[in-house]
Amino acid sequence: MSSLEVDASNCCIPPICPLILHNPPLPTSIRGEPCVLDGKVGRWNKEKSGMVMYASGRLIVIRELDDLELGGCGGTEEKKRKVKAFVYRGHTAQVTAAKFSESGCYVASGDIRGRLRVWSYDNEEHLCKLELPTALAGPIRDISWDADNRRICIVGESSKTDSSSPCCRVIQWDTGVTCGDLGVHARGRASSCAFKPGRPMRIVTAGTDDARCMFHKGPPFQRLLVDSSDGTSSEYAHTRGAVHCVRYDAKGEQMASVGTDRSVCFYDGKTMDLKGRIEDVHTGTIYSCAFDSSGKHLLTTSADGTAAFIDAIERKVLHTWNIADHQKSIYGVESDDKVPMGAMQKACAFLSDDTPISISHNGHIAVLPYPSDLLSNASRKTEKMCLVTGHQAPIDAFTINHETDTMYTVDSDGIVVEWQASNGHALSRFAPPAGTDTDLSNKIHTGAITSVVALDRDTVLTTAWDDTLKISTKVQSDSGNVNSAMQVTQSLSLQAQPNGMTKGTNLVVILTVKGLLLYHNSTISSDIISLPFEPTSICLSNDDTTLYVGAQDCKIYIYTVNITSSDNPLEEKHVIQDGHLKSVHALSLSNDETKLASADSRDVCVWDVTTPDYTAIVSKSRWCFHTQKITCIAWSNDDSFLASGGGDDSIYLWSLAKKIKRVHFPFAHRGGITGLTFLKTNEDGEEEKRMILASVGIDACVNHWDVTDDVAKKFG
């Protein structure tokens, strides 16, 4: 495959893979620190009006905020979606900043270890052009390109033991050579930087601890000392704390800075003279600012949960959006004077069509509507504030309710997200019980969620490492309106840590470290059922009568379930021995319930459950191409094909008719696949039936794959 031959790092999903929908994770945020958000995507991407780039863990996400993703608030919904996101996976540590070059063909990105990578965006292989493992001794906090696409300014933290280590550098992107000496901020910590568009070249850097902006001219770059008419230095326009963000307008005529003193300062773009200062724009720390394409308006975001729209010429606030109150109304949180930590606004940007967006600490991307009394050249006329939701942490499991076309995903932070399965539109996060989510973190569990099942149309069960079972439903208010978010309505304590869950029609079986639990009629109907072996996976038939249990001892145990019996609800029926050489980590029953698929750390096996001795249809060492633990398996709708995913980042497709052949999709999810299922298709009168495979993984992405052509080509 070409991606293997060209770039051994495999920094993206190979272009040959049939990816048709790619839902990336949301931005990650650290409390007390701003995020870096880039809406200026360059000339090469000018036709993609809704594109934005941000960091999420070790990933860099470039996505288009289209009308469907915004729930139709910017226009009509599309029936089908194309791949409108790209995830770059070239970093091995948490990414802290990423910026497009002015041309839009290249991206410079830095991580928490001080590594800088410059890679091509316009090439389908996204090759790395420059890599500096120790561009800075500490984390890189911000990056800026010059207008010539030749020089990159990076700022961050210097070494705590080496006084000669810089916290700000300017380098030639093609050679990595330093071109000038930038000023050193207090304690060797800088938070933001900005290159002046056009000539004469100027660089502004902002300090984290000295409330100072340093100005530089070049190349080669050196300090530029600026004194105002009253004898004070423009460097000390801010009175205290950190200067979190500095940004130039598109023409380079003026520059703005914001910080913890809640003020916005404006400077002349060339002479760096202080031109004006607006105090108390927000009631909290201002984390970010951005100019629109005309340079006449400035957008700021703050820890007070609001975003402000400022006239940069008259230097006055024109409008304020209260994003915190908007999130409170969605998730049913009582409004008060306290700003929830999750609703603090950490970054902002104008998209190329001048649509303002903001990033919350909890990851939500808010697309802000222009007030009716303000004129704007934005082409996206949103009538209401829209929130783009999703995950920030690894997705551990998911389930699909085909009847309602709804998908539910859970992550290691204790968050559950509801999606529209067919088009991948994230609807909303689940809400904790009323009055408990005061910080708007949206966490319904205090530990990692291990499993999720959709019990019926409006009821979802989740288990987590906080040793609880949560039941969530659509909640109807006193006024008769149904809340837009699913809400936890019941919490049941478990007697042991859960590791899995399966359901039939009316029965749910919970796998714990001590044994099994039965959930029936809205309650846990049994004590822990101890087993003479260590269970690792479970699967229940649709009629609630047969339970399959995979074990650490490489065997599969089949039990008859008797719900009415409180003394002995499980009766051993059969044991499949010598089927696996490793622990059985995944089980899946076919749709017609005639075949059982099982998987360990290498092999996928299939058993005929209609025969008394459970004859092997596919035995061990036949489908044995995974190199790490197989975490999930799924049957196609007609039970002719099987999909498997594992910790080796790979998805395999198998055919029962042609057992010696396979389809391999490598590097599907960075970190491993945690869930697979085939979607129900051809329900809208489509001429051709398509096979769509949905997958989730440790990278917090939700992917849809159209495997129809690959299956036809490989299996006939």
Report helix, strand or coil for 639.
Answer: coil
Residue 684: is its pLDDT beyond 90? no
Residues whose CB is less than 8 angstroms from the CB of residue 21 and which lie 6 or more positions away in sequence, other chains included:
81, 82, 83, 423, 424, 702, 703, 704
The pLDDT of residue 646 is: 97
d(CA 233, CA 230): 9
Domains and CATH numbers, the chain: 26-388 (2.130.10.10), 390-493 (2.40.10.480)
Q: With a threshold of 0.75, does the pTM exceed it?
A: yes
d(CA 621, CA 322): 59
Do 399 and 416 form a contact (C-beta atoms < 8 A)?
no
DSSP string, 272-305: --EEEEE--SSSS-EEEEEE-TTSSEEEEEETTS
288/46: higher pLDDT: 288
The pLDDT of residue 479 is: 42
> At 371, is the pLDDT very low, low, confident or very high (cuts 50, 70, 90)?
confident
The pLDDT of residue 10 is: 75
d(CA 391, CA 362): 9
Name the CA dihedral angle for 196, 366, 108, 300, rounded to a multiple of 10 degrees: 30
Most confident among 222-226, 564-568, 596-600 (mean pLDDT): 596-600
> At 5, is the pLDDT very low, low, confident or very high (cuts 50, 70, 90)?
very low
Do 583 and 569 form a contact (C-beta atoms < 8 A)?
no
80/648: higher pLDDT: 648
Question: What does the pLDDT average to over 315-338?
Answer: 90
**What is the tens place of the pLDDT at every residue in 169-181?**
999 998 999 999 9
> At 232, is the pLDDT very low, low, confident or very high (cuts 50, 70, 90)?
low
The pLDDT of residue 377 is: 54
User: What's the whole-number average pLDDT of the chain?
Assistant: 91
Residue 74: is its pLDDT beyond 90? no
CA atoms within 13 A on the CB side of 589: 24
Q: Left if phi > 0, otherwise alpha if psi is -120 to 50, otherwise beta: which for 638?
A: alpha
Q: How far is CA 245 from the centre of its chain?
A: 24
d(CA 234, CA 272): 7
Residue 75: is its pLDDT beyond 70? no
Backbone dihedral angles phi then psi of residue 665, each to the nearest 5 degrees = -115, 100
Residue 273: is its pLDDT beyond 60? yes
Residue with tokens 């930590």: 341
Report helix, strand or coil for 697.
Answer: strand
**What is the tens place of the pLDDT at every residue in 597-609?**
999 999 999 999 9
Task: Render the burial of 543-569: b for 16+ CB within 10 Å, e for the rest.
Answer: ebebbbbbbeebbbbbbebebeeeeeb
d(CA 417, CA 429): 4
Backbone dihedral angles phi then psi of residue 43, each to the nearest 5 degrees = -65, -35
d(CA 233, CA 601): 65
